[in-house]
Amino acid sequence: MKHLLYIGRPNLGENLFATACLDILSKEYEITLLVPVHTLPVFRSYQFIKRSLAGCNFQNKDALLPIYTADELQRLTKNGDWYYAYHHDNDINFLKNYPFISKLKKYPVLHDRDIGIYGSDYTQNIDPVNGLYLSRTKKYMLKLQLMALKDTENFDCTVRCPTFISDRLSDTIVVYQGSRDNLRKLPTETVYEFFKALPNATYLVTEETANTLNFNQLGVKYIQTSNFVDKSLIEILKLFETRPKAMIGPDSGLTQLASAYKIPIVWLQSRIALENVIDSQYAKYCKVYFNANLTCDQMCMGCAATDALKTNTLPHGLFKIKKPFKDFKTLDCYKNKNPVCLRYTTCQIKEIINLIN
């Protein structure tokens, strides 16, 4: 069997979106995956990934792999038919420090432009033939030349589950604060509003939020997500294995992981792209909540999606983006760390909870 060194993306979610592709590739290649160290417990649980090793900041040309990873790769690649794959040119900036990797055969990954996707701020995942926004997994399928776009409709392109899935949903409701990125993170005040309405829920929050809201003193069930360690992620995997009744939160890696376990998700609008929401294959498990009347006048991806969804009776499937949206780093809410789209009133919290079946 051939061997494939798959150089992952910097984030948990982006690598989870690639699991459907890795599942296919594993039929032909023995896969070694390089991912951020804090995500290793997830990827080491996949049966179709032979080994997962700690990566580095791949986009930094001066970045170095952990010594164990570099030594292990050097040992492994001395024998066998080895290839390496990556998605973006800047993901291999670090390879100048590792000639033995760059000398491996290159898996033929297509560039965005080769599949008709152009990487500007407002058309990053746009299919120019239909003018439609593509899900991340389907984009990966095209770039890795695994299938044509029309074939992805009849193929399971959802995130693969790393471990055991319970046949039944539990009674647990999970409230997830979100990413370290402030534009995908519920403000502490919003978490408090959820706590008032759902005091018995399990909360995935930063240590700072847990301390501010006195979760320990109040006996609130929570798992801290600020600086992921193996223990936290393993706890979350065990929680997801029980298939909670629902998870509420903005888009982030753990949202994608919850989708792998077929946990019903109430997806809270944020500036980030609607990677899960737009694919009809997630429609059974994913509901969208967005502010119909945003008070900000920024044109972020969240605003563009809201504009599209207002006229879309089913907020799933490919949809047209009517207006170009700005690079999120230029947004006032990014600079001020104050995303108004994730601040909810008591009435809105009730509306969100009512989306749980």
Using pLDDT thresholds of 50, 70 and 90, give the confidence band for residue 124. Answer: very low
Helices (H), the chain: 12-17, 19-25, 40-43, 67-76, 99-102, 136-143, 149-152, 188-197, 207-212, 215-218, 230-241, 253-260, 301-309, 332-335, 346-354
The pTM of the whole model exceeds 0.85: yes
> What are the φ/ψ torsions at residue 174 (nearest 5 degrees)?
-110, 130
DSSP labels, 310-346: TT-SS--S-----S----GGGSHHHHTT--GGG---H
Stretch 31-35: mean pLDDT, rounded?
96
- Among residues 202, 284, 209, 213, the alpha carbon closest in space to that of 247 is found at 202
**pLDDT for 89:** 81
Please check whether the two domains, 2-108 and 173-354, share a CATH topology: yes
Please say whether the beta carbons of 134 and 101 come within 8 A. no
Stretch 144-166: mean pLDDT, rounded?
90
Q: Is the pLDDT of residue 297 over 80?
A: no
C-alpha–C-alpha distance, residues 294 and 299, integer Å: 11
Please say whether the beta carbons of 332 and 298 come within 8 A. yes
Q: Is the pLDDT of residue 128 over 50?
A: no
Segment 49-57 long-range contacts (CB within 8 Å, at least 24 positions apart): 49/22, 55/7, 55/8, 56/94, 57/10, 57/94
Using pLDDT thresholds of 50, 70 and 90, give the confidence band for residue 145. Answer: very high
The tens digit of pLDDT for each residue in 69-84 reads 999 999 999 999 999 9
Decide yes or no: CATH 3.40.50 for domain 173-354. yes
The residue extents of the domains of the chain are 2-108, 110-149, 173-354
Please say whether the beta carbons of 278 and 301 come within 8 A. no
Instruction: Identify the residue whose tokens are 């046949």.
Output: 167
**pLDDT for 293:** 62
Of residues 122 and 188, more confidently modeled: 188
**Architecture of the CATH domain 2-108:** 3-Layer(aba) Sandwich (3.40)
Q: Is the pLDDT of residue 294 over 70?
A: no
**3-class DSSP state of 68:** helix
Lowest mean pLDDT among 219-228, 241-250, 337-346: 337-346
DSSP labels, 245-269: SEEEEESSHHHHHHHHTT--EEEEP
Task: Out of 41-55, 268-282, 334-348, give the one with best mean pLDDT.
Answer: 41-55
Stretch 185-210: mean pLDDT, rounded?
95
**3-class DSSP state of 187:** coil
Structure token digits, residue 78: 């001395």
- Rounded to the nearest integer, the mean pLDDT of the chain is 84
DSSP 216: H
Using CA atoms, how far residue 131 sits from 113, 118, 125, 136, in Å, is: 15, 12, 10, 16
